[in-house]
């Protein structure tokens, strides 16, 4: 029997249709403006993609609007693991996610937006296979499929073993207050494991020797090979940079900045002044990758690297790493700098030889 988890954030997307740029804390305002809840309808679009599996699948979900109603309306065998009465909230998403992970379902489908993804990450971390059905107003996190129908299709491929690989995708969150004021400030909240959408061999294509994962491993090996004695290395946030820490066997962090020296961890999850304190007197290098979907090198998900730290490092000591596919996805657009200091941005702008594999570099501009 295939066990599918389903979590619907019933109010996701409510704000969008009435000109609000998100729904966090704005449910009542949205309803007052006449918004119609559509999240369950869109979740059903995704579930229709799983209808071929109906006879061999059970959907575990929450009561009513949390998923039960949608699953039952399409005729799926449905079991309720989490009861709620009246209005639902982020607490329900988190509680249900924990129960589904504990139950060990094959894949948790969750319908919502960036806020919902952040709740999922908080509840179950990056290990359990999940997939987002996009129903929210703003969706920057690549944990979501591109459309509800695409989510259904990808879930079916995954559950039937046609796509068995998982990849860690970013959970990004925008400060909605700032976004409503027209300022975009993306934070990296964590990672979720989702079925791999794209491989280095895109679509169904000829074989390629290196999968994206192997490319990331080769990059990590190259960084480690070139590490110098008694130089402090700051390892920035991101899956590609995390491979470096992982490969060294160190207990670093995925979304934090870690400081290592002579292949030993000095301290995990360091920030601003603490970095300068720890590295005092020793040469400092910084390993960064491209984060945040839009190609940010600095300023998204790595605010711990303050202008003071970056000044201490200097452009020549910044090592940028990224797979060829990741850079290609930027379509030739430059890497972005937003350190909070115009002067620092200016000093760090220019070309970097991005490490893209064993002895492979790609010249990329940062600005």
Partner 1 sequence: MKRIDRSKKVRTGFHQAKWDEPIIFELSTPGERGVSVPKASAAVAAAVGDGISDLPDHLKRKERVNLPEISQNRVLRHYMRLSQMTLGADVNIEIGQGTCTMKYSPKVNEQLARLVADMHPLQDEDTVQGMLQMYYEMDLYMREISGLDKFTFQPGGGSQAIFLMASMVRGYFESIGEADQRTEVITTLYSHPSDAAAPAVTGYDIVYVQPDPDTGLPDLEAFKAVCSEKTAAFMVANPEDTGLFNGHIKELVDYAHSVGALCCYDQANGNAVLGVARAKEAGFDMCHFNLHKTFSSPHGCSGPACGAAGVVEKLIPFLPVPSVEFDGKKYRLECDFADEEHGVSKVRAFMGVAPVVLRAYCWIRMLGPNGLWQVTKTAVLNNNYLFKRMMSIPGISAYYEDGNNQRVEQCRYTMEQVTKDTGITSGDVQRRMMDFGMHFWTSHHPYYLPEPITLEPTESPSKKDIDEYVDTVAHIIQECYQTPDIVKAAPHRSTIHQVDERWMDDPDGWAITWKIYNRKYK
Q: Is residue 367 part of the contact set for partner 1 (CB under 8 A)?
A: no
Site string for partner 1, 105-144 (x = CB under 8 A): ----------------------------------------
Q: Is residue 208 part of the contact set for partner 1 (CB under 8 A)?
A: yes
Q: Is residue 327 part of the contact set for partner 1 (CB under 8 A)?
A: yes
What is the rounded distance in angstroms from the CA atom of residue 101 to the CA atom of residue 124? 7
Burial grade of 241 (CB within 10 A; 0-12, 13-18, 19 or more): buried
Residue from 48, 89, 162, 177 that binds partner 1 (CB under 8 A)? 162
Q: Is residue 225 part of the contact set for partner 1 (CB under 8 A)?
A: no
- Closest contact distance (angstroms) between CB of 198 and partner 1 is 9
For residue 151, give both structure tokens. 């989510």
Q: Is residue 333 part of the contact set for partner 1 (CB under 8 A)?
A: yes
Span near partner 1 by CB under 8 A; candidates 20-28, 74-82, 91-99, 198-206: 198-206
- Check if the beta carbon of residue 292 is closer than 8 Å to that of residue 179: no
What is the rounded distance in angstroms from the CA atom of residue 127 to the CA atom of residue 358? 28
- Closest contact distance (angstroms) between CB of 47 and partner 1 is 19
What is the rounded distance in angstroms from the CA atom of residue 118 to the CA atom of residue 138? 13
Q: Is residue 48 part of the contact set for partner 1 (CB under 8 A)?
A: no
Residue from 51, 74, 200, 276 that binds partner 1 (CB under 8 A)? 200
- Check if the beta carbon of residue 136 is closer than 8 Å to that of residue 113: yes
Compute CA distances 209 → 94, 200, 220, 240, 242, whole Å.
40, 9, 18, 19, 23
Q: What does the binding site for partner 1 look like in residue numbers (CB under 8 A)?
A: 162-164, 199-211, 324-325, 327-328, 331-333, 350-351, 353, 356, 359-365
């Amino acid at each position: 029997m295939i066990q599918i988890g389903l979590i619907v954030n019933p109010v996701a997307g409510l704000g969008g249709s009435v000109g609000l740029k998100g729904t966090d804390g704005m449910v009542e305002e949205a309803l007052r403006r006449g918004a119609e809840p559509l999240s369950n309808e869109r979740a059903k679009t995704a579930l229709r993609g799983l209808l071929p599996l109906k006879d061999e699948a059970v959907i575990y979900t929450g009561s009513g609007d949390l998923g039960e109603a949608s699953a039952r309306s399409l005729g799926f065998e449905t079991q309720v693991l989490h009861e709620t009465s009246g209005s639902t909230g982020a607490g329900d998403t988190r509680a249900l996610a924990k129960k589904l992970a504990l139950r060990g379902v094959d894949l948790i489908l969750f319908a919502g937006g960036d806020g919902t993804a952040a709740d999922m990450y908080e509840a179950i971390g990056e290990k359990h296979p999940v997939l987002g059905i996009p129903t929210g107003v703003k969706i920057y996190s690549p944990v979501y499929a591109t459309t509800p129908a695409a989510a259904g299709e990808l879930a079916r491929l995954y559950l039937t073993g046609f796509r068995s690989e998982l990849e860690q995708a970013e959970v990004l969150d925008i400060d909605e207050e700032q976004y409503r004021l027209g300022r975009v400030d993306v934070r990296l909240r964590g990672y979720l494991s989702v079925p791999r959408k794209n491989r280095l061999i895109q679509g169904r294509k000829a074989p390629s020797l290196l999968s994206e994962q192997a490319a990331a491993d080769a990059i990590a090996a190259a960084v480690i090979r070139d590490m110098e004695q008694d130089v402090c290395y700051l390892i920035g946030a991101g899956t590609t940079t995390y491979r470096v820490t992982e490969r060294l066997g160190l207990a670093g962090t995925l979304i934090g900045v870690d400081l290592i020296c002579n292949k030993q961890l000095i301290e995990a999850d360091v920030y601003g002044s603490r970095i300068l304190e720890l590295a005092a007197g020793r040469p400092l290098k910084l390993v960064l990758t491209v984060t945040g979907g839009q190609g940010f090198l600095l300023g998204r998900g790595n605010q711990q690297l303050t202008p003071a730290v970056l000044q201490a490092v200097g452009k020549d000591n910044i090592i940028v790493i990224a797979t060829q596919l990741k850079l290609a996805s930027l379509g030739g657009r430059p890497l972005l700098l937003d350190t909070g200091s115009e002067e620092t941005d200016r000093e760090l702008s220019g070309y970097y030889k991005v490490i893209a594999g064993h002895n492979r570099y790609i010249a990329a501009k940062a600005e």
